[in-house]
Structure 1
Amino acid sequence: MTSDTPAPLLRDLLGPVALAAIAAAGRAASPRFDAAAFLDAAGHGLEPLSIMARVRHIADALGAALPADYAAALAIVQAMAPQLTRGFQAVAVTEFVARQGLGDFDRSLAALSNLTRYGTAEFAIRPFLTQDADRALATMAKWALDDNEHVRRLASEGSRPRLPWGAGVPALKADPVRAAPILEVLRADPSLYVRKSVANHLNDIAKDRPDWLVDRLAAWPQGDARTDWIVRHALRTLIKRGDPRALALVGVAHGAAVAVARFTIEPSAVRLGDPIALAAELRSEAAADQRLVVDYRIHYARTGGKTAAKVFKLRTFELAAGDTATLGLRQTIRDFTTRRHYPGRHDVDLIVNGVTMARAAFDILPPP
């Protein structure tokens, strides 16, 4: 792929090829699966839909191809899943349970614990949490003890208060710590896949209940590398905010005895698609070694003279007494689905151990 070739759209993961694969899986799973009806229903109106809208659209199309009896349909869906990729094809099949199974709560949750092994059921569990949070969380607490890492991850990921792309759950919005007992069980999980979910779940909580999070993590036993990994990643939002207690939990003092000898952004003006180079030089002014967490904050220009700030990680390291460290990175200025750039001045802060210590800037030029 050349640099001029546009990146494939995420929604295209559920295009005609995926529909054909799902239809083939249905035919292989049962003669009762009407592949023609599925392809007709799934293909109609698919093109303009986003990726998650396609997930729901395909799940509804499965209803046209499966038996009307839910138990029979569920058996076919579970037979289909192992034949699909571990991507959005299986997620779309899993979503059938969310769309059709709320009236058969226990059978549906048992199916989700099986289906998540082939394509995550983190989105499909959300309607069940909305319908009866206590009942769903009780089942998910059992999943946290399962031998399969995909099932254990579902217990954490499916109950995240701010699950990306996931439907909101009123009970979790009202009380973001409802799933805390699940996280306690998983705090030293052997699977990195699970630990990442636990850390992300805790980071969600940090945005609403920061004091609760720091208190809870401070009470966790120390010395287990797996738990320590979760704690570091769970605190990332609070560390970016310079929260002194969060910094202390990862062994970092608030503020540092350093001087900023240099902090530059080059070039001083760019257009979309151009890179900037950030360079910093820190000189220790301490008599002892220091652990430094160095971040940078870009104040993105917005319309009407407003700005929106975002903090990025630069480097975490030990700086010996009296030493000097040179840091740098390159970042290409390009638009993303979640971020659009506007012409204008962009201030950049250098943050060391939660304290802003220097500022530079660059301009984004309007299109020629």
Structure 2
Amino acid sequence: MNRMETERMYAYFLCSIPMIGGVRAGQLEERFGSPQGIYEAGVTGWRECVSESIAEYMDRQKKEDAWRQEYAQLAEKQIHLVFPWEEGFPKKLLTIPDPPYGFFYKGRLPKDTIPSVAVIGARECSEYGRYVAEELGRYLGTHRIQVISGMARGIDGISQQAALSAGGTSYGVLGCGVDICYPSQNRRLYEELGREGGLLSTYAPGIRAMPAYFPPRNRIVSGLSDALIVIEARQKSGTLITVDMALEQGRDVYVVPGRITDRLSDGCNRLLNQGAGVMLSPEQFLEEFLQSWEERQELPVESDIYKRKKKHRKNKNLQLKEPLKKVYERLTPVPKTAETILAELWEKGEYLDIAALHRALMELELSGYVRQSSPGYFGTSAN
């Protein structure tokens, strides 16, 4: 076994610990130098970076030693494992808070060059919700938009099945190992995703679904997507956790409105009241979404369009006075929160308080320099 493959094997050991995400893995690597260094540090060393319970779990995994055989059997089970430093790791996941340390998949991974949309909503959906999910999934599949969701009962699975039935592609992000079909009643969808799209997870094969694993899973659903659509969500719903994660990641959020007397639509209507985009039809959504998606794509430096946009941005910048100029320089087409912008200003030695920043952002927005893609997220306008 060459050195690179040895490091991959020890990196798998970390991936076999379900409580260790990208942040903790990074802390361990910084402390011990490499995946093999982490493994050899032992429980005494691990306690410096992780909790007692996680260190004990790691110690049990090391003593049982089953993880080596599990790693050797990945190819036999047609399960792939990719790490952030390797080619093929989804680029969208590199920019989210707490990116995964390792990523398992069966089938294929979503393509970075093709637009992706997450469709999520209630498990116990209404007939109206089912109809909208089917129509939307079918429309996205027909137009070759990658549909990302959690393969759950209800809206998630319905939209994914419709996309596949229309000849499109879909990817299911699981809260368990990719060798486990959860929920079991979605077996047909699970098998079709493995053939026509992909089954994805941050959890190692054999790890069973647990409630604690689904919120971290949701950040991957939104992280792999360019926009998120919510179809039916109650006032207190796990769907809204995914919405919060999508907003934190700078993704656009669209909502299907519902009747004010329908409790399944309370969460959706509240999101609309807070400024989320409204999805009135698949056609209207796709037109708006594709325009936004195209604006966010990085253009090659040699492109004439890129040069014109860069020159236009520079000329606009010269027209601004302080502190507007400093704030505008921190903005990009990909929206950021005011807190992120403030932190970047401080890193550059530009000290501005939050109230002054909000005044500057408001003035820039009124002048057409800035747009809010969703509440609290600011990016440069397309003009």
| Same fold? TM cut 0.5 | no
TM-score by length of 1: 0.30
Name which structure has the greater RCO, CA cutoff 8 Å, separation 6+.
Answer: 2
**Larger strand share, 1 or 2:** 1
- Which structure has the larger Rg? 1
**Larger helix share, 1 or 2:** 2
TM-score by length of 2: 0.29
